[in-house]
Structure 1
Amino acid sequence: MLEPDELVTQFSVMLQNRAGALAALVKLLRNNAIEVVGISVQDSRDATIARLVVTDPDTATQIFIEKGIPFTTSPLVVVALKECGPGLLQVLDTMMVGETNIDFAYALMPSDKGNTLLAMHVEDTDFAMELLNKAGFKLLRQGDLSR
């Protein structure tokens, strides 16, 4: 089982809803040798929430604090799927049988090993990880994403 400091960290960053805001954020991270390996964007009229998974969450946290960029963090369960279609259904079935909810999910950038990576925010991280681990799924740590 993964320790809490090994869990994948997701940043939810609030951005102004204007052209180029997301590109500027990614450029800021990239200029500090941090790559975005997962992204999900939820847009509204006034603001955008960008959910990001990055290669160096500790440095990203420092940058966001120094630049006054509003953000929150939350743990994700990340599963490496051998086959994206059947693998996804197996994960969903496992979660359903365990009667645990997925709050939201999105794919990460393909791994260097060729696996599809599924990131999930779940109602009970420890329980979901135990379910998936017992079902034989490969769970990734934050260190696995730091390329």
Structure 2
Amino acid sequence: MEPPVIVEPGSPVRQFAVMLPNRAGALAALVKLLRTSAIEVLGLSVQDSRDATIARLILSDPDTAEHIFIEKGIPHTTCDVIVVALRESGPGLLQCLDHLMGAETNIDFAYSLMPGPEGRSMLAMHVEDYEFAVTVLQTSGFKLMYQEDLSR
């Protein structure tokens, strides 16, 4: 018997990786630019290097943000990430990681988001196989968040 097919109830969460100059105020200027179009930063991870900074962002309106980045010539890439709403940050995180490890799927990177609807802690993860990881987490009872859940 074949395993049940899991139907996603929404669009995958799109993460932006934006290259910024490594100087004071660059990230603040980017956030201000997004706020002029009522786009909120819901998740943020910053990786610094000597010459440039890579800011990973999850935004409330990724379509408009992409238009702004293209229009302003801001270098960026996008990828889909899984966002898990955790009931408890400690035990919930470990259970989530254990299920992914048991399924032998790798996490490329992860970071937390601002508290979401219902005040839950949320974790964004980029995994080697998005569809497989979604199936593993859904069948294990985890609440996954989709772009429609995060866009306010």
Q: TM-score, normalised by structure 1?
A: 0.97
RMSD between superposed Cα atoms in Å: 1.0
Match for residue 71 of structure 1 among 62, 70, 76: 76
Match for residue 8 of structure 2 among 2, 12, 16: 2
* Structure 2 residue aligned with 1:56: 61
Matches within 5 A, 1:51-130: 51-130=56-135
* Structure 2 residue aligned with 1:13: 18
Unpaired runs of at least 5, structure 2 = 1-6
How far the C-alpha of 1:114 sits from its partner, in A, is 1.1
Which of the two has higher C-alpha Rg? Answer: 2
Cα distance in 1 for residues equivalent to 2:130 and 2:149: 18
Cα distance in 1 for residues equivalent to 2:90 and 2:14: 25
- Please state if 1:133 is matched with 2:138: yes
Runs (4+) off by over 3 Å: none
Cα distance in 2 for residues equivalent to 1:142 and 1:89: 24
Structure 1 stretch displaced more, 112-121 or 55-64: 112-121
How far the C-alpha of 1:112 sits from its partner, in A, is 2.9
Match for residue 28 of structure 1 among 21, 28, 33: 33
How far the C-alpha of 1:71 sits from its partner, in A, is 0.2
